[in-house]
Copies of this chain bind each other. A is one copy, B any other.
Amino acid sequence: MSDTPDSAVRTYIQQHRAAFLDDLAEWLRIPSVSAQPEHAGDVARSADWLVAKLKETGFPVAEVWPTAGAPAVFAEWPSDDPEAPTVLVYGHHDVQPAARADGWHTDPFEPVLADGRLHARGAADDKGQVFFHTLGVRAHLAATGRTAPAVRLKLLIEGEEESGSPHFRALVEAGADRLAADAVIVSDTGMWSETTPTVCTGMRGLADCEIELYGPDQDIHSGSFGGAVPNPATVAARLVAALHDADERVTIPGFYDGVAPLTDAERALFAELPFDEKAWLSTAKSHGTLGEDGYSTLERIWARPTAEVNGIGGGYQGPGGKTIIPSSATLKLSFRLVAGQDPDLIEVAVSQWIAQRVPAGIRYDLAFGASTRPCLTPLDHPALQSVARAMSRAFDGQKILFTREGGSGPAADLQDVLGAPVLFLGISVPSDGWHAPNEKVEVELLLKGVETAAHLWDDLAAALSRSV
């Protein structure tokens, strides 16, 4: 390979690959489990470790940003071009809980490199994908001979993503001036598969609620009273059943208001992906598909809003029977939202719909959790094309396809507060086992991530300058 920028990047990465993996392993040894209070010190240690490493990488600014919960990390590396656009990279340094007893073959916090895979909690979600930006920016500088990045590069690495990012929006709002950016790069998603590199263009939003329904003051005898008083478990079930019509469309009035219809171009792009329903069902650990009439499975999970019951409970759930009318029932509903939907309006629509459906004699409490807005970057956005080009160079010229993500993330808060388009750069694959035992990252893909990051800043600087 001649000394093109691409080969220079590869050469640099190969030279630093071992140290990069050693450093990542050191970080992965810190059990920064944000959901478990006993690991609060580890989350703080993880933030400190990252600050030190980012300084070592060359970031002139690298700071711990405290929150009311676990700390985030902020770093900044100005460009040598004062006109250069600003890019903010988002990721998180906290991880899901993990224990040998859950089915791990090795200690989740003692990284093991085997068969080209690095196994550890956080290897893919999200320390590995945060960390590829460190070697990425160094390779960018090395290959281009720059002393500072082609963009003003900022990093915001939060510490509570796995706990639902309860303080993230406040953090972004408080730090909005320093976080200001022309584009946000989220490195906390994945791509289609090992052989089909893709760029994600958006995530669904989320609204969720908990409904407690109260009937009799205590469980009562279903013989003595059954058939004559309202049963809160029946009411809970009727709410769930009424959520959808026979076409599996959500029935709540106003629910679809503002939803942009899928364009033919978008549907065609989805259809380009090598979707194998059997394989998808296996990933979904499910035994059949069911969803809104008129849409494919990918369209249903990426581009259509949904209503789902996440939990329902009421009355006797032990073995055998118990002839009671339960005193109360509980219901957890969540709604995935797509571009054009506003979680605040959805909450109003849901509240009204529930109020109209709970019969006399049943009292209820309704509480909404923190909502997440949907985000979607148009396919023709120049920055999106830039990410796809950088990725294609890392993947030897392979065509980059586009996906979306059915889940929801705090990235939407960045789009919302900073007013910047959100782009997704992730190299994780479905088999990486996010949140599952034996999480891993494919080392070659991790290095493709480094390579993409190394190519991205020049391309993005040009694309964003043109688009201004």
Known A216-B285, A223-B407, A285-B217; judge A322-B311 contact (CB<8 A). Answer: yes
Q: Is the CB of B215 within 8 A of A291?
A: no
Per the bound structure, the CA–CA distance linking A292 and B291 in Å amounts to 33
CB proximity of A376 to chain B, nearest CB, Å: 15
| Interface presence of A363 (CB below 8 A) | yes
CB proximity of A377 to chain B, nearest CB, Å: 18
CB proximity of A315 to chain B, nearest CB, Å: 4
List of B residues within 8 angstroms of A231 by Cβ: 308-309
Q: Is the CB of A301 within 8 A of B228?
A: yes
Per the bound structure, the CA–CA distance linking A109 and B223 in Å amounts to 27
Per the bound structure, the CA–CA distance linking A348 and B288 in Å amounts to 27
For A230, give the chain B residue with the smallest CB separation.
B290
**Interface residue tally for chain A (C-beta within 8 Å):** 83
Q: In A33-85, which residues have CB < 8 Å from any B CB?
A: none
Give the residue of B237, B286, B316 whose beta carbon is less than 8 angstroms from that of A237.
Answer: B237
| Interface presence of A406 (CB below 8 A) | yes
Q: In A390-433, which residues have CB < 8 Å from any B CB?
A: 405-408
Give the residue of B223, B289, B317 whose beta carbon is less than 8 angstroms from that of A228.
Answer: B289
Interface centre among A237, A314, A327, A360 (most CB of B within 10 A): A237
Count identical subunits in the complex. 2
Q: Is the CB of A310 within 8 A of B336?
A: no
* Stretch in A3-11, A238-246, A379-387 with 4+ CB within 8 Å of B: A238-246
CB proximity of A97 to chain B, nearest CB, Å: 13
Q: Is the CB of A321 within 8 A of B407?
A: no
* Stretch in A13-21, A133-141, A204-212, A259-267 with 4+ CB within 8 Å of B: A204-212
Q: Is the CB of A312 within 8 A of B236?
A: yes
Interface centre among A217, A226, A324 (most CB of B within 10 A): A226
Per the bound structure, the CA–CA distance linking A408 and B321 in Å amounts to 14
| Interface presence of A325 (CB below 8 A) | yes
| Interface presence of A227 (CB below 8 A) | yes
Give the residue of B203, B209, B237, B308 whose beta carbon is less than 8 angstroms from that of A312.
Answer: B237
List of B residues within 8 angstroms of A325 by Cβ: 308, 310
A-B pairs, top 6 by smallest CB distance, nearest first, are A288-B361, A223-B407, A241-B241, A237-B240, A227-B306, A311-B315
A residues near B, CB below 8 A? 203-204, 206, 208-210, 215-218, 220-231, 233-234, 236-244, 281, 284-292, 297, 300-301, 304-306, 308-317, 320-327, 329-330, 332, 334, 336, 359-363, 369, 405-408, 435
